[in-house]
Structure 1
Amino acid sequence: MLFGKRERLIRRILIVEDEPLVAFDNEHMLKDDGYEVVGTVDNLADAAEAIGRERIDLVLTDISLAGEGDGIDVARAAGAKGVPVLFVTGHCTEQARPLGLGCLSKPYSEKVLKNALDALDRHLQGKTPKRLPSQLTLFVEARA
């Protein structure tokens, strides 16, 4: 597409976050940037149900969640359906590494989240991201 925005692979996002203000902010930031938020849930059971029901391009999940299970379990459920995961957390664990595309450290700004999603989108397209936000750690190299 000449002089236009490149086509996104990531369009439909599931947010899994048990901090209401963070969930609310993420949902509004993503919608304002043109993403479709297919759901905002705060626990493993609701996340697994949404992953099984919806077409999702990316799961944005915190590692620490209220109730049974955590973001690692959400990533396992997403992986079983072939849905990529970005962990958004204050502390990324080694357990997350084989289950997600990367980890975005909290707290982050709208600009950092947008740039992280742009980098992930480029990565999923097999391209090397132009520049990674300092708060984003990619777990795998782009397939050039």
Structure 2
Amino acid sequence: MALFGKREKVVSRINRILIVEDEPLVAFDNEYVLQDAGYLVVGSVDTVEVAIETIHAGQPHLVLSDIRLSAGGTGLDVAQAAREAGVPVIFVTGHCPTEAKALAVGCLAKPYTQRDLLAAIDAVDAKIGGRNPKRMPRGFTLF
């Protein structure tokens, strides 16, 4: 009998992530953090039109979307398209709108830390996999 048991490896359902963010520094930071954590970033875009194209072409497992975007439209439009494609969305925004609950799986309040972003993704992955999240990050609401 071993003193320390082996931990069961949990298979992640989220590997491919689309970032929808119109603040270049935030988008770049998120992309770097996610790639460093082992995720594949299928795109980092700043408009609704390109986000919807990428949802259909890039087949993401998760969309991280700000609410306010450049060139018209909002993250709510992105979330509606993602929902129709069966892709969960986490809003990353300064203010989570009331409509968010119907369109997204959660909302992460800006500003957030890298650790909080990764923990929010882990919480959504756990929920999708039928497990209880290990840790709920500060500023994150899971719907």
With structure 1 as the length reference, what TM-score do the two structures score? 0.92
The code of the aligned residue for 1:29 comes to: V
Shift of 1:3: 3.4
Counterpart position of 2:120: 116
The code of the aligned residue for 1:116 comes to: A
Aligned mates of 2:91, 2:50 — CA distance in 1: 17
Aligned mates of 2:121, 2:87 — CA distance in 1: 15
| Residue 29, structure 1, aligned to residue 37, structure 2 | no
Aligned mates of 2:138, 2:33 — CA distance in 1: 19
Q: 1:93 aligns with which of 85, 94, 97?
A: 97
Counterpart position of 2:60: 56
How many matched pairs?
Answer: 138
RMSD: 1.0
The code of the aligned residue for 1:24 comes to: F
* Per-residue CA distance 1:59-91 (angstroms, 9 max, x = gap): 000001011210000000101100000000000
Extract structure 1 runs of 4+ deviating beyond 6 A.
none
With structure 2 as the length reference, what TM-score do the two structures score? 0.93
- Residue correspondence of structure 1 range 5-44 to structure 2 within 5 A: 5-44=9-48
The code of the aligned residue for 1:91 comes to: H
Aligned mates of 2:46, 2:9 — CA distance in 1: 33
Q: 2:131 aligns with which of 127, 133, 137?
A: 127
Q: Any idea what SS the aligned residue of 2:99 has?
A: helix
| Residue 79, structure 1, aligned to residue 63, structure 2 | no
Shift of 1:4: 6.0
Counterpart position of 1:66: 70
Query: Mind listing any 5+ residue stretches in structure 1 that lack a counterpart?
Result: 140-144
